[in-house]
A = this chain, B = another copy of it.
Amino acid sequence: MSNPGRPQARGQARKEHILAVALRIFAENGYRGASIAEIAEGCGLSQPGLLHHFPTKADLLIAVLEYRDKLDAEKFHVDDPAPGTAALRRYVDIVEHNAHLPGLVKLFAIVTGEAAVSTAHPARAWAVDRYEKLIGGLAANLRLGVENGSIRADVDTTAVARRVFSMMDGLQLQWLLNPEQVDMPGLFRSFIDDLTVEITA
């Protein structure tokens, strides 16, 4: 563990503080509605002080998104192979985890929505790549299941992977709009349970 008294560790801690503040402000306002002035103020920095770390609002958004993707990938070992339906269970855990982090869910919902409607959005390439990686990774694990005989050979693995992330995204919207009545993790789990039955050989 690094010593937080050393300059490099202090610099890292300051960057992580900025990313946490920026996440909250982007999550509530989207990229378009968030201002560098508000983020700087939330960090206790001047605007030039903030821009010293991240030269533009777009750089800061991309840094927040990549940082959160990296934390989740490490926490849930999403890059490790998980042949067959084990890969589906991983996403049940992630949705369960996300239900305790509405700010993070909001961030992904609003930034993906903005990027989906505008090819000029700074997170457009991030969003396109993210889905291709998520879908490609899950489809590859499902194909390993086809190869080891645990998943039916006639399953369209890419189509199933697209369904899984669609369900996750759509349930997030319903949950954010109505958190009291929508049991996001329960609904997602039962979807995955039914899907598992459907594709099991």
Contacts and interface: CB of A to CB of B under 8 A. Distances in A.
Interface of A: 27-30, 32-33, 106, 109-110, 112-118, 124, 127-128, 131-132, 135, 156, 159, 162-163, 165-174, 176-178, 182, 187, 190-191, 194, 198
A180 to B, nearest CB: 11
A163 B191 contact: yes
A5 B30 CA distance: 44
A189 B175 CA distance: 24
B169 A117 contact: no
27 contacts: A28-B117, A29-B118, A30-B32, A30-B114, A33-B33, A110-B114, A110-B116, A112-B173, A112-B177, A113-B113, A131-B177, A132-B178, A135-B174, A162-B174, A163-B191, A165-B170, A166-B166, A166-B167, A166-B169, A166-B170, A166-B171, A166-B173, A166-B187, A167-B170, A168-B170, A169-B170, A198-B198
